[in-house]
């Protein structure tokens, strides 16, 4: 499996770094994108506003120009914001949740899917959330945006699997990151899923062992 070109969005975050380290350990060539500067070893890295279609497409084209192809796309970029009751949720919150969790993903797919179709193969893993399976109080906008990721994954998988492109998504519970610990200081951190565990699931989905999994939404949560 060594030598694959793996494009990771949201690479500067705690989860993105864990995923980058996992795939680097396989000998893969990493192409890392984030809105903020990174200090990670990679074959390609750049600051990218995933909300900008032209900028996203330009980075994808440069990755192919420099590294020859894109074998794997791991869409980690996203965000969370506890909202108000559904009837009182502001338009700003609705727009933010859908922009950061759905539209950034759509723009990345617009840039990379044509490349993978031309190659005749590719693997894509999107970032959903366990919260997408059932709405919860004060999380309506977030749950709705992540639910859309599940439906998009299923549709995209049906459209692409005959072209040799595999698409799945994962549904983690609360991830043990410094930001989440800061936001929820009274929580039981031992029950949160470790970023390295999510990286392992992603690695399996894009391995030969996961080759026959299409359009799936895989839960990832700690049992401790």
- Please give the C-alpha separations between residue 79 and each of 106, 208, 214, in angstroms, as whole numbers: 15, 30, 25
**Cβ-based neighbour number of residue 57 at 10 Å:** 16
**Cβ-based neighbour number of residue 130 at 10 Å:** 18
Residues assigned a catalytic role: 142
**Interatomic CA distance for residues 162 and 125, integer angstroms:** 17
- Please give the C-alpha separations between residue 107 and each of 110, 114, 186, 191, 210, in angstroms, as whole numbers: 5, 12, 36, 33, 25
Secondary structure of residue 5 in the 3-state scheme = strand
Checking DSSP bridges between strand 5-9 and strand 165-172, what pairing results, if any?
unpaired
Residues paired with residue 218 on neighbouring β-strands, in sequence order = 170
Contact 131/146 with Cβ under 8 angstroms? yes
**Interatomic CA distance for residues 141 and 189, integer angstroms:** 24
Contact 163/216 with Cβ under 8 angstroms? no
């Amino acid at each position: 499996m060594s030598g694959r070109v793996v494009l990771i969005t949201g690479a500067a975050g705690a989860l993105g770094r864990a995923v980058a380290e996992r795939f680097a350990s396989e000998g893969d060539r990493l192409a890392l994108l984030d809105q903020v500067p990174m200090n990670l070893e990679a074959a390609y890295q750049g600051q990218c506003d995933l909300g900008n279609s032209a900028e996203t497409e330009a980075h994808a084209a440069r990755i192919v120009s420099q590294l020859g192809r894109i074998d794997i796309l791991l869409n980690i970029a996203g965000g969370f914001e506890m909202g108000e009751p559904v009837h009182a949720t502001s338009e700003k919150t609705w727009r933010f949740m859908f922009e950061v969790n759905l539209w950034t993903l759509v723009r990345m797919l617009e840039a990379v899917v044509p490349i993978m179709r031309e190659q005749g193969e590719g693997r894509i893993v999107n970032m959903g959330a366990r919260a997408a399976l059932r709405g919860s109080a004060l999380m309506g906008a977030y749950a709705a945006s992540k639910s859309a990721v599940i439906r998009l994954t299923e549709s995209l998988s049906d459209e692409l699997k005959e072209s040799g492109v595999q698409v799945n998504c994962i549904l983690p519970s609360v991830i043990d990151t410094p930001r989440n610990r800061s936001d929820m200081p009274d929580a039981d951190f031992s029950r949160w899923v470790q970023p390295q565990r999510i990286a392992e699931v992603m690695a399996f989905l894009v391995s030969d062992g996961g080759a026959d999994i299409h359009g799936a939404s895989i839960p990832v949560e700690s049992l401790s």
